[in-house]
Amino acid sequence: MTAHPGLGRPEVTAFFEPRTASLQYVVADPASRACAVIDPVLDFDEKSGATATRSADAILAFLGARGLTPAWILDTHPHADHFSAAGYLKDRTGAPTAIGEHIAKVQRLWKDLYNLPDSVPTDGSQWDRLLADGERLRIGGLEAAVLFSPGHTMASVTYVVGDAACIHDTLFMPDGGSARADFPGGDARALWHSIQRILSLPDATRLFTGHDYQPGGRAPAWESSVAQQKAENAHVRGQDEASFVSLRTARDRTLPMPKLILPALQVNIAGGRLPEPEANGRRYLRIPLDALGDVAWE
User: How do residues 280-289 score in pLDDT, each as one tens digit?
Assistant: 999 999 999 9
User: What does the pLDDT read at residue 7?
Assistant: 63
pLDDT digits (tens, 9 = 90+) for 135-176: 999 999 999 999 999 999 999 999 999 999 999 999 999 999
Every domain of the chain and the residues it spans: 11-268
For residue 8, what pLDDT is reported? 83
What's residue 298's pLDDT?
Answer: 84
135 CB-side CA count, 13 A:
12
What is 11-268's CATH number? 3.60.15.10
Band of residue 57 on the pLDDT scale cut at 50, 70, 90 = very high
Total Cβ atoms within 10 A of residue 175: 16
